[in-house]
């Protein structure tokens, strides 16, 4: 009982209790195991959540599919207005949601608020799309013929999200999925079930007041086997998965085996390149945010740093100085810019990696230790490391930055591209030739290629995602909406003849 940390006012505002059902197929319920949500800053329990059983997965997908049959014939601009209302409801609860994200994930309040803002901004994108989602008219090679291309709803979209963006990633996916006429079945990371619950309640409040079934936004809290069941289910037309490359590889195969679609947002191993001619102060600030923000637990976190030989010493001096100023503490306190890691396994991974670094001959320039105390705090860390070392090729989801010196741009690009992941990359330079070389076809091989902007902190208006082991998916802005649609191609004959394509003569 007294293991529970009380946040009554906040919970009341968000409709959360001490004991919660984490499953909704239109009705709240759940017959899987009960789990506990924990605050990583204190190590205390926030609430309990009943998770989904196999039977719950089955009934939620069934209900979501039925609801989609109704939803797909609602005019797209009307669907857009529903998504807009979700955005309005989120605006009202922004601070409360951000506090809950901060409590359950451990990220600082400013970043948690940014996450809610990403969802809100996505609802604006969806509203605009609802009036402008373009199809195409294409010229036919045949007389009195016309070719049309339309984008129709896909069906039921499974969304599996990670702990580090427990709210925004659902926002990117669901805003587009809903406006495109789909239902959504959400399997959040087990350890961020409360954020998923609060978010779903807000979405449901909008659906209910507009008389749409809440099974359009089904929720299945649970562990990996729930995600596996969703991924393998033939009734789920698209599985959008955000998480590790190891799990993503399995999800991809499960979905592909049954010819389901898959959208993968997997690991990153993102590098920043600092050229001799860079604005050093700007680069230090950018790289600090990108390497230390969210305690190094973004998929876009800067994990590798390549500094040109002429400025290496001075740059590293400035950067380590900036690391020394980082205020570690309770993520809800103003002034804290760096909170705890999310869970115990993240802390032990950090420790193991530090040991491996020492064995591999890495030199610790800052940090490297676990901070004593009840919360899961570790020091933000910079290590000078041979960039070809095995450990640097992996994504360790912790605030460890590997730094190395390079001679020229081509060496830096080669290093940038030498890892299996391909999410985000960045160059700091004032040389236009270096800039265009880096963003060109012989430059960075990542999905995100920034200039004088670090690797993390992407805006939702652009397509978000990466190549190689990052999985190839694109979410959020640009034309990412197309992945939540099926394309239909129609050839119309408005003449009296039947000319055949390719001029084929077929007389009988």
Looking at the annotation, which residues are catalytic? 265
* Binding piece for ligand UN1, criterion CB under 6 A, among 16-24, 292-300, 345-353, 497-505: 292-300
* Binding piece for ligand UN1, criterion CB under 6 A, among 275-283, 355-363, 372-380, 450-458: 450-458
* Binding piece for ligand UN1, criterion CB under 6 A, among 49-57, 131-139, 387-395, 454-462: 454-462
* Binding piece for ligand UN1, criterion CB under 6 A, among 45-53, 215-223, 453-461, 495-503: 453-461
Q: Per-residue contact track with ligand UN1, 19 to 38, x per CB under 6 A?
A: --------------------
Q: Is residue 178 helix, strand or coil?
A: helix
CB 91 within 8 A of CB 120: yes
Report the nearest approach of ligand UN1 to the CB of residue 50 (Å): 27
> What is the spatial distance between Cα 504 and Cα 415, in angstroms, rounded to a whole number?
53
CB 421 within 8 A of CB 269: yes
> What is the spatial distance between Cα 158 and Cα 187, in angstroms, rounded to a whole number?
8
Is 241 near ligand UN1 (CB under 6 A)? no
Is 353 near ligand UN1 (CB under 6 A)? no
> What is the spatial distance between Cα 72 and Cα 313, in angstroms, rounded to a whole number?
59
Report the nearest approach of ligand UN1 to the CB of residue 345 (Å): 18
> What is the spatial distance between Cα 338 and Cα 334, in angstroms, rounded to a whole number?
11
Tell which residue, 67, 69, 83, 80, has the closest CA to residue 26. 67
CB 401 within 8 A of CB 446: no
Report the nearest approach of ligand UN1 to the CB of residue 132 (Å): 24
Cβ-based nearer residue to ligand UN1, 66 or 394: 394
Is 458 near ligand UN1 (CB under 6 A)? yes
Is 397 near ligand UN1 (CB under 6 A)? no
CB 227 within 8 A of CB 186: no
Size of the site for ligand UN1 (CB under 6 A): 8
Q: What one-character-per-residue DSSP string does 75-132 give?
A: -HHHHHHHHHHHHHHHHHTHHHHHHHHHHHH---HHHHHHHHHHHHHHHHHHHHHHTT
CB 502 within 8 A of CB 267: no
Cβ-based nearer residue to ligand UN1, 270 or 429: 270
Q: Which residue of 206, 299, 311, 409 would you call a contact of ligand UN1, by CB under 6 A? A: 299
CB 233 within 8 A of CB 57: yes
Is 457 near ligand UN1 (CB under 6 A)? yes
Q: Which residue of 50, 164, 336, 421 would you call a contact of ligand UN1, by CB under 6 A? A: 164
The two tokens of residue 440 are 């060109």
Report the nearest approach of ligand UN1 to the CB of residue 118 (Å): 6
Is 456 near ligand UN1 (CB under 6 A)? yes
Q: Among all chains, which residue has been given the structure tokens 């591209």?
A: 417
Q: How far is CA 42 from each of CA 34, 38, 111, 365, 375, rounded to the nearest angstrom?
A: 21, 8, 19, 28, 5
Q: Is residue 16 helix, strand or coil?
A: coil
* Binding piece for ligand UN1, criterion CB under 6 A, among 33-41, 412-420, 455-463, 480-488: 455-463
* Binding piece for ligand UN1, criterion CB under 6 A, among 8-16, 181-189, 295-303, 370-378: 295-303
CB 459 within 8 A of CB 305: no
The two tokens of residue 98 are 């951000």
Sign of CA dihedral 18, 23, 28, 31: negative
Report the nearest approach of ligand UN1 to the CB of residue 116 (Å): 12
Is 245 near ligand UN1 (CB under 6 A)? no
Report the nearest approach of ligand UN1 to the CB of residue 142 (Å): 47
Interface residues for ligand UN1 in 98-127 (CB under 6 A)? none
Report the nearest approach of ligand UN1 to the CB of residue 298 (Å): 3
Q: Which residue of 51, 192, 193, 300 would you call a contact of ligand UN1, by CB under 6 A? A: 300
Cβ-based nearer residue to ligand UN1, 184 or 458: 458
Cβ-based nearer residue to ligand UN1, 80 or 243: 243
Sign of CA dihedral 367, 190, 66, 77: negative
The two tokens of residue 413 are 């690009």
Q: Among all chains, which residue has been given the structure tokens 């951000």?
A: 98
Is 449 near ligand UN1 (CB under 6 A)? no
Is 298 near ligand UN1 (CB under 6 A)? yes
Is 195 near ligand UN1 (CB under 6 A)? no
Cβ-based nearer residue to ligand UN1, 115 or 237: 115
Report the nearest approach of ligand UN1 to the CB of residue 442 (Å): 25
Give, for 406, the enclosing helix (H) or strand (E): strand 400-406
> What is the spatial distance between Cα 272 and Cα 387, in angstroms, rounded to a whole number?
13
Report the nearest approach of ligand UN1 to the CB of residue 325 (Å): 22
Query: Could you list the residues that contact ligand UN1 (CB under 6 A)?
Result: 164-165, 298-300, 456-458
């Amino acid at each position: 009982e007294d293991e529970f940390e009380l946040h009554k006012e906040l919970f009341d505002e968000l409709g959360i209790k001490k004991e919660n059902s984490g499953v909704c197929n239109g009705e709240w319920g759940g017959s899987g195991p009960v789990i506990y949500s924990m605050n990583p800053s204190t190590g205390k329990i926030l609430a309990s959540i009943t998770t989904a059983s196999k039977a719950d997965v089955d009934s939620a997908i069934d209900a979501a599919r039925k609801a989609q049959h109704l939803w797909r014939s609602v005019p797209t601009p009307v669907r857009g207005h529903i998504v807009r209302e979700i955005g309005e409801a989120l605006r009202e609860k922004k601070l409360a949601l951000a506090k809950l994200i901060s409590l359950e994930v451990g990220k600082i309040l400013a970043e948690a608020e940014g996450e809610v803002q990403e969802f809100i901004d996505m609802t604006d994108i969806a509203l605009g799309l609802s009036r402008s989602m373009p199809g195409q008219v294409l010229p036919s090679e045949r007389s009195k013929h016309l070719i049309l291309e339309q984008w129709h709803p896909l069906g039921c979209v499974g969304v599996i999200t990670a702990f580090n963006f427990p709210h925004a990633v659902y926002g990117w996916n669901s805003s587009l999925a809903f406006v495109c006429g789909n239902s959504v079945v959400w399997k959040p990371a087990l350890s961020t079930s409360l954020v998923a619950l609060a978010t779903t309640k807000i979405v449901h409040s909008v659906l209910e007041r507009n008389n749409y079934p809440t099974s359009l936004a089904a929720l299945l809290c649970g562990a990996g086997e729930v995600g596996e069941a969703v991924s393998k289910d033939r009734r789920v037309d698209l599985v959008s998965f955000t998480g590790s490359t190891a799990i993503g590889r399995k999800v991809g195969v499960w979905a592909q085996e049954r010819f389901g679609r898959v959208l993968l947002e997997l690991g990153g191993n993102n590098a920043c390149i600092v050229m001799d001619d860079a604005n050093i102060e700007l680069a230090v600030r950018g790289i600090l945010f990108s390497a230390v923000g969210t305690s190094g637990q973004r998929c876009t976190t800067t994990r590798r740093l390549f500094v040109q030989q002429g400025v290496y010493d001075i740059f590293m001096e400035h950067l380590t100085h900036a690391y020394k100023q980082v205020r570690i503490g309770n993520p809800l306190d103003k002034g804290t810019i760096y909170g705890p890691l999310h869970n115990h396994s993240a802390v032990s991974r950090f420790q193991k990696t530090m040991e491996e670094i020492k064995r591999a001959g890495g030199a610790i320039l800052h940090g490297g230790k676990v901070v004593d105390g009840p919360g899961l705090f570790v020091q933000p860390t910079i290590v000078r490391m041979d960039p070809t070392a095995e450990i640097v090729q992996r994504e360790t989801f912790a605030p460890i930055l590997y730094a190395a010196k390079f001679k020229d741009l081509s060496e830096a690009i080669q290093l940038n591209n030498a890892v299996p992941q391909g999410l985000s990359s960045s160059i700091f330079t004032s040389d236009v030739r270096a800039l265009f070389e880096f963003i060109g076809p012989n430059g960075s091989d990542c999905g995100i290629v920034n200039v004088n902007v670090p690797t993390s902190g992407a805006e939702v208006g652009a397509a978000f995602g990466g190549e190689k082991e990052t999985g190839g998916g694109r979410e959020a802005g640009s034309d990412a909406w197309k992945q939540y649609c099926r394309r239909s191609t129609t050839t119309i004959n408005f003449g009296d003849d039947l000319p055949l394509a390719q001029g084929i003569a077929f007389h009988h």
